[in-house]
């Protein structure tokens, strides 16, 4: 502003420099000013001080506004006014997604309760150990939660994992082998048709997961230095997703990440419904599950 000279700037006249501000106020009978951009903090403070002395109303356009979302929320932290830029439409749709998840999972739990009971009995008869298996996972914003599954492995499966690490058949930090010796007879059946994933409906009810979203990685299999993996934590993980309908365990880790990031960028209700509809025939065929 100190460099401005009297003249024209495009179609707008330049009335003078900051040093002449008080004179300009009286000469032009100014009663309100807009501060749209300022070269430094001192210039901004000087404008505010002069405006206060002269009794002017001041309106400030936040710097960087043109690069942010068009929606914002105004609130205060103590006496300090704050503008929060956000995609209000996206947030609203995410809340609707949560309502859809809750209602759908509640109805599914009622409908599938007899199936839960039968599978629980069969698991207990097949091998010693609990019916359910809890796995610590990273959820939305990196919050950890217990993901529930029907137990498909022997009771000490986690302890045996260290002996099998060098047999991993998939890329990336995920551990998978087709003929895992830890899987029980009933477990092989559960995994083939993804029935071991049914208890995750409880996670959806609790708000830890969604029906559709990126697959949650075990805590030990998430590499925090990989920004692609961390980006997946921006939304709730899902029971199903693009990885489920495009190959399941046969999908490479690189493709899984790429599809998850694509899903996050292009999420919509129609996409979720498409994935849910496509999930059923994929699960029934049992392709790519082990």
- DSSP tag of 170: S
Delimit the domains of the chain by residue range.
Answer: 7-79, 89-285
Task: Give 2's pLDDT tier (boundaries 50, 70, 90).
Answer: very low
- What does residue 251 show for φ and ψ, rounded to 5 degrees? -80, 135
Parallel/antiparallel/unpaired status of strands 210-212 and 144-150:
unpaired
Write down the residue that tokens 């002449």 correspond to. 20
Within 10 A of 181 (CB to CB), how many other CB atoms are there?
Answer: 12
pLDDT score of 63:
72
What is d(CA 113, CA 120) in angstroms, rounded to the nearest whole number? Answer: 11
Q: What does the pLDDT look like over 63-82, one tens digit per residue?
A: 766 666 556 777 788 888 77
Domain at 7-79: CATH architecture: 2-Layer Sandwich (3.30)
Which helix (H) or strand (E) segment holds residue 93: the answer is: helix 88-126
> What whole-number percentage of the chain has pLDDT above 90?
33
Give the torsion sign (CA, 65, 67, 68, 69). positive
**Range 43-46, long-range pairs (CB < 8 A, 24+ positions):** 43/1, 43/2, 43/18, 46/18, 46/21
For residues 21-41, give the mean pLDDT.
85
Structure tokens that stand for 165 in this block: 């690490």
Q: How far is CA 137 from CA 93, 209, 238, in A?
A: 25, 10, 12
Residues 6+ apart with CB under 8 A from 256: 172, 215, 243
Q: What does the pLDDT look like over 125-149, one tens digit per residue?
A: 999 999 999 999 988 888 899 999 9
Task: Give 288's pLDDT tier (boundaries 50, 70, 90).
Answer: low
pLDDT at 195 over 70: yes
2: left (phi over 0), alpha (psi -120 to 50) or beta: alpha
């Amino acid at each position: 502003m100190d460099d401005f000279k009297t003249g024209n700037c495009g179609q707008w006249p330049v009335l003078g420099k900051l040093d002449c501000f008080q004179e300009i106020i009286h000469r032009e009978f100014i009663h309100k000013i807009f501060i749209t951009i300022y070269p430094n903090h001192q210039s901004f403070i000087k404008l505010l001080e002069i405006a206060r002395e002269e009794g002017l109303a001041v309106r400030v356009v936040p710097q960087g506004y043109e690069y942010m979302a068009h929606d914002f929320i105004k609130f205060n932290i103590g006496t300090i006014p704050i503008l929060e830029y956000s995609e209000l439409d996206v947030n609203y749709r995410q809340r609707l997604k949560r309502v859809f998840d809750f209602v759908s999972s509640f109805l599914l739990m009622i409908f599938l309760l007899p199936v839960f009971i039968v599978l629980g009995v069969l698991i207990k008869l097949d091998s010693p150990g609990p019916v359910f298996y809890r796995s610590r996972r990273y959820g939305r914003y990196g919050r950890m939660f217990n993901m529930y599954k029907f137990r498909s492995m022997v009771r000490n499966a986690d302890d045996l994992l260290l002996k099998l690490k060098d047999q991993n058949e998939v890329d990336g930090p995920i551990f998978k082998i087709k003929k895992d010796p830890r899987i029980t007879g009933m477990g092989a059946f559960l995994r083939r048709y993804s029935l071991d994933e049914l208890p995750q409906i409880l996670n959806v009810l609790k708000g830890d997961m969604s029906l559709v979203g990126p697959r949650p990685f075990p805590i030990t299999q998430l590499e925090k230095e990989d920004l692609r993996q961390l980006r997946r934590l921006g939304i709730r993980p899902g029971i199903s997703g693009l990885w489920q309908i495009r190959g399941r365990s046969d999908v490479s880790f690189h493709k899984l990440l790429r599809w998850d990031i694509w899903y996050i960028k292009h999420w919509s209700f129609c996409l979720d419904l498409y994935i849910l509809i496509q999930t059923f025939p994929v699960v029934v065929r049992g392709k790519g599950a082990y």
